[in-house]
Amino acid sequence: MAENEDIYADKAHADIGIVCAMSIEIATFLNRCLSQKKYKEGRFVFRGGLYDGIRIAVAQSGLGFANARAATQALIDTHTPRWILSCGFSGGLIPELKIGHIVLANGIVDTHGQEMAVDLKMNENRKGGLFIGRYVVADEMVRTIEEKMQLAEKYNAIAVDMESLAVAQACREAKLPFMTVRAVSDDLSEDLPKEIHSVINSSGSARLGATVGALWKRPGSAKDMWHLRENALRAANSLADFLDGVVTQLYESAQ
């Protein structure tokens, strides 16, 4: 086996584990890793590589609580990471949050009454685009400004996603340190396209047939979808930049 494949000689270990819903969320960061590998185990796609000598294992869960919970357990069982991060995109629920800003959770609640505090030893820097606050986990993508404002008020939250609480619960049961790191991909400046729920499936991939159908019914949706992708790529770049520093710090803290 070549030297650059040694990290996969022992599939039972990673230094940092990452759970994300969609490949686009973590692709920019993984492109900064060496010896990248990809494989499928069960119903989940795993990716990994070496970041400055640190072994990274990523489980791509697909959207939603149940998928994220199962993927996190699979990541723990397969790679025994010392830290786990729930990474990806989030919707901003307060006006100060803009596309590309980073949000870390110091608490997570879902719309069914489950709640969990997060022990986060980090200071926010809102002028630098780093926010710390409460997440609310929803059952589906929150599309409109009105819905986001209602969530912010009801749950005293600053950001929304669909997976963080599931990852946090699995880590708590496994007694593993955990952090949610998410980049804002949609804010309070505009609604998401109304076709979003039909176009994106539970795996986080676009449905070709639904996309074609959306374009047929509303040709203007092509511009909206392109704008959505641009925002997603901007968020992915921001997430990768933040992980550049955090991954090294977490690795050192675990030694």
Q: pLDDT tens for residues 155-195?
A: 999 999 999 999 999 999 999 999 999 999 999 999 987 75
Q: What is the pLDDT of residue 216?
A: 40
The chain-wide mean pLDDT, for the chain, equals 86
CA dist 253 and 255 (Å) reads 6
* Most distant CA atoms of the chain, gap in Å: 56
List CB contacts of 240: < 8 A, sequence separation 6 or more: 28, 29, 31, 32
Q: What is the pLDDT of residue 149?
A: 97
| Token output for 152 | 């912010």
Q: pLDDT tens for residues 69-122?
A: 999 999 999 999 999 999 999 999 999 999 999 999 999 999 999 999 999 988
Q: Quick check: 61 pLDDT over 60?
A: yes
| Token output for 199 | 């176009």
Q: Quick check: 222 pLDDT over 80?
A: no
Superfamily of domain 3-254: Nucleoside phosphorylase domain (3.40.50.1580)
Q: What is the pLDDT of residue 1?
A: 33
90: closest CA among 145, 137, 144, 28? 137
Q: pLDDT tens for residues 109-140?
A: 999 999 999 999 889 999 999 999 999 999 99
Which of 28-32, 49-53, 220-224 shows the lowest mean pLDDT across its residues?
220-224
Q: Which H or E run includes 180?
A: strand 178-186
What own/partner pairs with CB < 8 Å and gap ≥ 24 does 246-252 have? 246/85, 246/179, 246/181, 247/16, 247/51, 247/52, 247/54, 247/56, 248/52, 248/54, 250/16, 250/83, 250/85, 250/177, 250/179, 251/15, 251/16, 251/54, 251/82, 251/83
First to last CA, the chain: 27
